[in-house]
Chain A
């Protein structure tokens, strides 16, 4: 409840100023190793959440050849130029950036559908990143699955990383692997700078199954991966509904997942918020009789 009021209160009047001048632009990679755990959903939700909090934010699709962020963000018909076009100098940045229709602070940078996986040259990406830092406060990098070139490029420039994990053995193992790669192969690691700060985001969480001992509990995953917890996103029908309609789930104020993302964004910005949606929902007498409301 507090989240919604905060949302409105913090929504800015005009576009926020870029972090570039102050050198405060922050690069956040959304990564997981494993596929299908919710990286793109999280990228869309997190970028929209930061925009709603008044921060000028761009979300970049690093999944070359398998473009999907545009669909999840609902701007698939507005893509003209892409990341690779800008890297190759065929278009300039502002021709490729798509301004979100729902929020002035939110921009989408789509990737290319080329089959050449190595089209993301590191020098080119670095140049584009520097340019983006002049315009934006937050740069969200939606990583592809795996630990190949695309995933490494997505995490290379990161200041922060959000490790999207499902409470399931293969996802936890792959998250551990990606945490190791962040510690050894990111630019911060190569330059001996302070390490990338990593955050755990547990998605598709089902408190009822956890209570029955059928699913790893949030404490278990936290203990195994030993990184700080940013949030728990409950399994929710609203996530599929959001992607069906191309709307980041944070725009759905009735969605538990959307509210959990709003909380996670607030925590990322340094606020203290209690974890919600980690206890099984008490079924009311009314609901028990009439089924789902």
Chain B
């Protein structure tokens, strides 16, 4: 009830409500990072090894992140190979255009 009256008499975008929204977003993000499983670095290393068999790769060309938004968790794997040299078993290396 008190909350109802508060919302009635308070400007909709009071600085307190902005603070609350900002906190909710930043904490959701930080809590997700805090509980990140420790297999991520290992996964990243193995992916690098596998992809590296076909394309010349360096460590900074792969990024693995786990994101939580609401009920959905998503594993995001970002591999950048633009300009990377393809490794082909036969013939000369080709430039990968992606």
Contacts and interface: CB of A to CB of B under 8 A. Distances in A.
B26 interface: yes
A214 B6 CA distance: 12
Contact of A214 (B16, B24, B26, B34): B16
A177 interface: yes
A213 B19 contact: no
A176 B30 contact: yes
A237 to B, nearest CB: 23
B22 A176 contact: no
B14 A213 contact: yes
B31 A169 contact: no
Q: How large is the interface on A (under 10, 10 to 19, 20 to 34, 35 or more residues)?
A: 10 to 19
B23 A169 contact: yes
Would you call the interface of chain A mostly helix, strand, loop, or mixed? helix
B16 A213 contact: yes
Interface string B20-34: 101110110011001
B16 A216 contact: yes
A214 to B, nearest CB: 6
Interface of A: 168-169, 172-173, 176-177, 180, 210-217, 219-220, 224
13 contacts: A169-B22, A173-B23, A176-B30, A176-B31, A180-B31, A180-B34, A210-B16, A213-B10, A216-B20, A217-B6, A220-B16, A220-B20, A224-B27
